[in-house]
Amino acid sequence: MDKLTLERRLLDLEKNAAVRAAGLETREYEVVLAGKPTRARFTWHHAGQRGRPVLVLVHGTPSSLFTWTELVHGGPGIDGLARDFEVFAPDALGHATTRTELDSHSFQACADWVSGFLDMLDLRDVTLVGQSYGGEFAWRAALDRPARVTRVVLMNSSGIPRREDEWLPEELKMRAWRLAHWGWILNSRVRIAAAVQPHFRAPVPEERLEEYYLACSNADNWRCMIDLARDENGARAADLARLRQPVLLLWGERDSAYRPERFAQEFARRLPRAELVLVAAGHYPQEEAPGDVAREIRAFVERTSGT
Task: Give me the mean pLDDT over the 146-153 stretch.
Answer: 99
Contact 43, 91 (CB under 8 A): yes
pLDDT at residue number 184: 59
Verdict on whether the full-model pTM lies above 0.75: yes
| 111-132 pLDDT per residue, tens | 999 999 999 999 999 999 999 9
- Band (pLDDT 50/70/90 cuts) for residue 307 is low
The predicted pLDDT at position 182 comes to 66
If DSSP codes are grouped into helix, strand and coil, which group holds residue 277?
strand
| Low-confidence winner among 119-123, 232-236, 294-298 (lowest mean pLDDT) | 232-236
Instruction: Give the chain's domain count.
Output: 1
**Residue 201 — pLDDT band, cuts 50, 70, 90?**
confident
User: What is the mean predicted confidence (pLDDT) over 168-176?
Assistant: 77
Distances (CA, A) of 268 to 95, 122, 273: 29, 30, 8
Give tens-digit pLDDT for 18-70.
999 999 999 999 999 988 899 999 999 999 999 999 999 999 998 999 999 99
pLDDT at 136: 98
280-289: average pLDDT = 97
Q: Residue 252 — pLDDT band, cuts 50, 70, 90?
A: very high
Q: What b/e sequence results for 180-205 when a residue is b if at least 16 CB atoms lie within 10 Å of its CB, and e otherwise?
A: bbebbeebeeeebeebbeebbeeebe
Residues 6+ positions from 302 with CB-CB distance below 8 Å: none
Choose among 78, 89, 158, 94: nearest CA to 126. 89
- Predicted local confidence at residue 115, as pLDDT: 98
Work out the pLDDT band at 189, boundaries 50, 70, 90: confident
* Average pLDDT score over residue span 272-277: 98
72 pLDDT above the threshold of 90: yes
CA 205, 211, 214, 216 dihedral sign is negative
User: Of all helices (H) and strands (E), which one includes residue 3?
Assistant: helix 3-12
Position 185 pLDDT exceeds 70? no
CATH of the domain at 171: 3.40.50.1820
The per-residue pLDDT for 219 is: 85
Residue 199 has pLDDT above 90, yes or no: no
Domain encompassing residue 24: 3-304
Residue 188 is predicted with a pLDDT of: 75
